């Protein structure tokens, strides 16, 4: 199973988990799925990275990278808040746990932020 497929599957799983937690889950799922190839391409160019809070960070400024990161982070925030409510925890904790999952599954060459805040190329 290729990494793109695994990432897509994970996004869809998270979206499905949150379907009952808030309205608009189908819209968010569709938006995230549509953005995924562009985000992955920018991550492979080290223009975007995954931070240790579970969000995308722009590492090389461009209008495209900034817009994609903002849209993705907005959707992730909604998902993290919904999961936190469902799991009776904080959105920050959900994001940090998600960051660890993302980092462990990130393909070689992508930028991730470690727990101490240092950016590393995987």
The three-state secondary structure class of 113 is strand
**Per-residue pLDDT reduced to its tens digit, 25-69:** 889 999 999 999 999 999 999 999 999 999 999 999 998 999 999
Separation CA 14–CA 21 (nearest Å): 11
pLDDT computed for residue 25 by the predictor? 83
Q: Judge contact between 99 and 92, C-beta under 8 A.
A: no
Domain boundaries defined on the chain:
3-121
Instruction: Looking at the chain, list the stretches that DSSP marks H as alpha helix, in order from N- to C-terminal side.
Output: 3-17, 25-44, 63-87, 91-105
pLDDT computed for residue 24 by the predictor? 79
Q: Is the pTM of this model over 0.85?
A: no
pLDDT computed for residue 1 by the predictor? 47
**Whole-number average pLDDT of the chain:** 87
């Amino acid at each position: 199973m290729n990494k793109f497929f695994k990432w897509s599957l994970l996004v869809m799983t998270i979206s499905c988990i949150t379907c009952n937690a808030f309205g608009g889950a189908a819209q968010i799922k569709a938006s995230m799925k549509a953005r995924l190839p562009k985000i992955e391409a920018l991550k492979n160019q080290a223009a975007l990275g995954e931070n240790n809070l579970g969000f995308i960070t722009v590492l090389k400024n461009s209008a495209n990278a900034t817009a994609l990161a903002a849209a993705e982070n907005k959707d992730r925030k909604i998902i993290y808040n919904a999961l936190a409510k469902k799991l009776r925890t904080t959105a920050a904790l959900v994001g940090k746990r998600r960051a660890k999952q993302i980092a462990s599954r990130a393909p070689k060459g992508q930028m991730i932020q470690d727990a101490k805040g240092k950016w590393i190329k995987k």
